Amino acid sequence: IKKPVCVVSGAKYLSDDGWTDLRNPLDTDVPFRMFRDEGRTYLQWVGEPDLRIKMSGRMIMVYLMCRELSTDVSPSTIQQLFTPCVAFRIVGSPSKFQSNVTEVAFIPEAHSKQESTSGDSLSVSNMLLLVYHQYFLD
């Protein structure tokens, strides 16, 4: 594949119930599109501002439909479609949809004295660090 041409065919976000379709509320269109500039292709947000705020901190998966840009226009040329996807996290913290309040998890033992004395198990802080590293840095 040397010169693919792609369009956005769908998008989903990760919710508590699993992957959920992501569409603009008013026109039910996918809030992303492909944008070309100076020989490079970008994924561009074209959704509504309120929807962008609601997607803060969430994992997003955008599905593409692509084909090779061919200079051969003969009828015998078979153009093969392929369907990659792009997954990423939008910066910010997730919000509750009904109240528009940012989700915050309070852990009562987060600053307990056991963190510095226990050598057998991981502290809450260390566990959170491992989870952060696993999901966001790998």
d(CA 18, CA 126): 27
Encode pLDDT of 37-71 as tens digits.
998 889 999 999 999 999 999 999 999 999 887 66
**pTM for the full predicted model:** 0.63
d(CA 114, CA 122): 10
Q: How confident is the model at residue 113 (pLDDT cuts 50, 70, 90)?
A: very low
The domains of the chain are located at: 4-89, 105-138
**Nearest Cα to 64, choosing from 138, 8, 22?**
8
d(CA 129, CA 138): 13
Encode pLDDT of 76-97 as tens digits.
556 688 899 999 999 888 766 5
